[in-house]
Structure 1
Amino acid sequence: MQVLERKISPVAKTPRNPSLGNQLTQRIARDFKPRWDQQWGGKFMLHGKVPSSEAIRLDGNDYLSVTGHPQIVQAQVDALRKEQEFVVQSGVFHLNQHPTRALEMALAGWVGKDDGFICQSGFSANVGLLQAIADAQTPVYLDTLAHASLWEGAHAARAPAFAFRHNDPAHLARVIAKNGPGIVVVDSVYSTTGALCPLVEMVEVAEQGGCMILVDESHSLGTHGPQGAGLCAELGLSDRVHFITASLAKAFAGRAGFFTAPAHMRYYILCSSFPNIFSSSLLPHEIAGLAATLELIRKSDDARKRLHAHTRRLRGSLSEMGYPIHQGSQQIIALEVGLESDTMVLRDRLEERNVFSSMFCAPATSSRRAMMRLTLNAGLMDSELDHVEAAAREIAPIVKPWDWPIARRARAGQAAD
């Protein structure tokens, strides 16, 4: 019997792609290529130096420093080792005995609601909820700094979306009066600036305008409120807020999203929310890890105190140095430089001094309001904060924060007042 051998060339062929459509090619050339060549210098602006093991990392969202906690790791390992039959499928098929259902009910009860839904991400939670509760006849009123996923949720619902000025309840009232009852959408803590929402006033305006209200607690769940239950719980608003959403990739340091809805809406949501219907559910070890994290977070009052103390300290010292961070108050600190090219300079000067944070630019910000975002966590040591402060003080004469556009606007506003 003759064996036929297929000869394989030792030199791999370079993959070739078919030509792109003219419209896409033109859009890349018009909208992206100048930015890449002229502002970014031919390299991806979000990627700076590789952090060393000694780097001080202010670029993550693990606010309570729970990553790698033995309690969480053990729960994940036990779930992986456990002999069990499970099917990778959409969560809409899960029966009430499924571990995911227990986690949904635990999370809902924690934030003061009677039912909730686990999703693959905070983005899918916001899109899926809004797509289910709004439609083309439902005005959606969004704070101008509301997370992109909330705007995308209004778009998915084909709902008319109306922006109101950031943290301005009076402007929201005027927009509602003009366009009628609908859904008000706010973040409890805004993800770019760390600004705290005036939530009591927003709820009152929504009620007076006959609106439902949705609060994204991604950056306050775990860090604010009794046992970390969030800003709505802290302010006693849980029974006046219709829907609460959150990414579980922040204080939970996991990979999931969550939203609440009244128990009587459960099966309506399961038939209406496309991300819930058409996405596979989380795996058993992920659910086990999140359940263990919930128990840990509820007992983390000391970590919350440290986080808030770090926030007060660094915000105070940066302000004294002349950094214009007046637009926020919480554990997210925005160093809003303005132009992307100038922001890259700030990023590089900080990284040269072993301080790493996240660069935000369009579409996460408007085109000329790029920033470095510093996110604090409870695990930071005083010596690390000392180093961050020393680095910021050293580079201040180089980056001149008092000349950033946001600082000039603040001075102009004070002069006008």
Structure 2
Amino acid sequence: MSISFPSVVTPSFTKLLPARSPELPEFARQRVERFHNERVAACWEGRHILRGLKPGPSALMLQSNDYLAITRHADIVAAQREALLNAGNGAMMSGLFLQQDDDPLHVIERELALALGSEETILCQSGYVANVGLVQTLAGERTPVYVDMLAHASLWEGVKAAGAQAVPIYHNDPEYLERQMLRHGPGVVLVDSIYSTNGSVCPLADFADVVQRRGGVFIVDESHSLGTHGVHGEGLVANLGLNDKVHFVTASLAKAYCARAGLISCSRRFKPYFAFESMPAIFSSTLLPPELAGIEASHRVIQREGWRRARLQHVTRRVREALTELGYPIGSGTEQIIALEVGSEAAVMRVRDAFEAENVFGAIFCAPATAKNRALLRLTLHAGLDDDAVNRLIAACTRLRDKVDLAEWSASRRERRNVAKPPALGEVA
């Protein structure tokens, strides 16, 4: 028996007169006003810090995390289009309910696990969901969680979600980590393999040894190395042969993979536990068929087209060498993320404006993405930059060197302090 529905003509849009939003109570209104008064009016001189010039067609765009320049790759776009046509938007439910082994989600998870050298992987809705959910499932109120001071904000939020004790660790300092673990006891250790604000590389083997020696859980966020590092883009943990010392690898796939998703590599036994204990994963809808198809297609492109990694390395090396020779204080990093750490938010806006006047568009990072008064302009290099684009970037940096007060940048002042600081007792000068 079929059911017939009455034919109803529905307008494409319902037009409503805009209503005035209700006034916020005082405790909430003060927070909003503090932003507008202290940041927009005072620090930013009435402008929005992220609103600069509008880039033209010839602009050098160094803002995206598309490190391998594959967002418009024909194979990826075709795979997403086909998935949308064949499967629509899929199941509107939590991934918790997708328990069949042959579900496309689990098929792709197994393929990624093989590539990373792990027992299993879990695909989440974002890198943020992966990190918050993972830490929340591992740490309790009495668990010390050791976090590198430059680690991704989502790792810090995971500590909050767990209600655990955060123990900050000096950046890339495994000896300090060991001292803190001796003081506070076994716990969870959180680092990035490549740090998102300055492009520095974590000494993963040294950290792994400390964590193993002191009985901790080791989590490495590979958001900025998965796809870009390793023989086939497997990331630094697998490339360095550390899979047997790193309990979990996480990553935002919205970088080299150009996919709005997150990843966790884990043991086979941990995966079902995570599905039933991670609050962000349980209460978020699963990834859509076009997203899964895009991840699978991106993975194959990343493994097949190794020339993209080689090109990224070449561009990174050339630009970093040139900027170092010009006196830019970028020595804290080595990889494709170049941090021009200026200092105050007003000062970084002026530097941003100067670069945009040269047709170079980077991204401002400021609190809460950085520490206060360590705002920076981040230039993100990618494999799509040809030799002409690289030359244009270096030429612009050359012209700007004497116009942007390099000596007064917070990174420059810190370098001078480090040079002037006398060696510690027993340290070679």
- TM-score, scaled to structure 2: 0.92
Aligned to 1:146: 151
Aligned to 1:7: none
- Matches of 1:357 and 1:102 in 2, distance apart? 37
Output the amino acid matched with 2:318. R
Asked if 1:218 is matched to 2:244, the reply is: no
Question: Which residue does the alignment assign to 1:409?
Answer: 414
Answer yes or no: is 1:86 the counterpart of 2:90. yes
Distance 1:83 1:166 in 2: 46
| Map of 1:295 onto structure 2 | 300
CA distance in 2, matches of 1:210, 1:346: 46
Query: What SS class does the counterpart of residue 163 from structure 1 fall into?
Result: strand
Give the equivalent residue in structure 2 for 1:170. 175
1:206-255 CA-to-partner distances (Å, cap 9, x unmatched) read: 11111110000000000111201000011110121000000000000111
- Tell me if the contact between 2:89 and 2:288 (Cα under 8 Å) persists in the aligned partners: no
Report the Cα offset of residue 405 of structure 1.
2.2
The verdict on how the C-alpha distance between 1:309 and 1:85 changes in structure 2, with shifts beyond 3 A counting, is closer
Counterpart secondary structure, 2:96: helix
Structure 2: how far apart are the matches of 1:26 and 1:81? 49
Quickly say closer, same or farther: Cα 1:96–1:27, change in 2 above 3 A.
same
In structure 2, the CA distance between the partners of 1:69 and 1:177, relative to structure 1 (3 Å rule), is same
1:38 positional shift: 1.4
Between the aligned partners of 2:194 and 2:376, the Cα distance in structure 1 is 17
For the residues of structure 2 that align with 1:182 and 1:188, how far apart are their CA atoms?
19
Asked whether the 8 Å contact 2:228–2:235 carries over to 1, the reply is yes
2:190 aligned with 1:188: no
Matched ranges for 1:54-203 at <5 A: 54-82=58-86, 86-94=90-98, 95-203=100-208
Equivalent-residue separation in structure 1 for 2:336 and 2:249 (angstroms)? 20
Aligned residues: 407
Tell me what 2:5 maps to: none
Bigger shift: residues 263-272 or 248-257: 263-272
Query: Is the contact made by 2:312 and 2:382 (CA closer than 8 Å) also made in structure 1?
Result: yes
CA distance in 2, matches of 1:181, 1:304: 37
Q: Give the aligned residue type for 2:267.
A: P
Note if 1:256 corresponds to 2:250.
no
- Taking structure 1 as reference, are residues 84 and 343 closer, same or farther at Cα in structure 2, changes over 3 Å only? closer
Alignment deviations for residues 244-275 of structure 1 (CA, whole Å, 9 cap, x no partner):
00000000011111112211122211110111
Q: Secondary structure at the match of 1:162?
A: strand
Q: What TM-score, normalized to structure 1?
A: 0.95
Secondary structure, in 3 states, of the residue corresponding to 1:398? coil
* Deviation per residue, 1:159-209 (Å, 9 max, x gap): 111001000011101111100001111000000000000111000111111
Shift of 1:84: 7.0
Residue 302 (structure 1) shift: 1.1
- The equivalent residue for 1:4 is none
CA 415–118 in structure 1, closer or farther in 2 if over 3 Å, else same: same
RMSD in angstroms over aligned alpha carbons? 1.4
Q: Which structure 1 segments of 5+ residues have no match? A: 1-10
Aligned-partner Cα distance in 2 for 1:84–1:386: 44
- Which segment is superposed worse, 185-194 or 19-28? 19-28
TM superposition shift of 1:142: 0.3
Runs (5+) with no aligned partner, structure 2: 1-14, 423-429
Residue matched to 1:228: 233
Give the conservation status (yes or no) of the 8 Å contact 1:165–1:171. yes
For residues 299 and 83 of structure 1, do their structure 2 counterparts lie closer, same or farther at Cα, with a shift above 3 Å needed? closer
Q: Partners in 2 of 1:78 and 1:27 — Cα distance?
A: 47
Identity of aligned residues (%): 46
Residue number among 7, 15, 37 corresponding to 2:19 in the alignment: 15
Alignment of 1:264-275 (within 5 A): 264-275=269-280
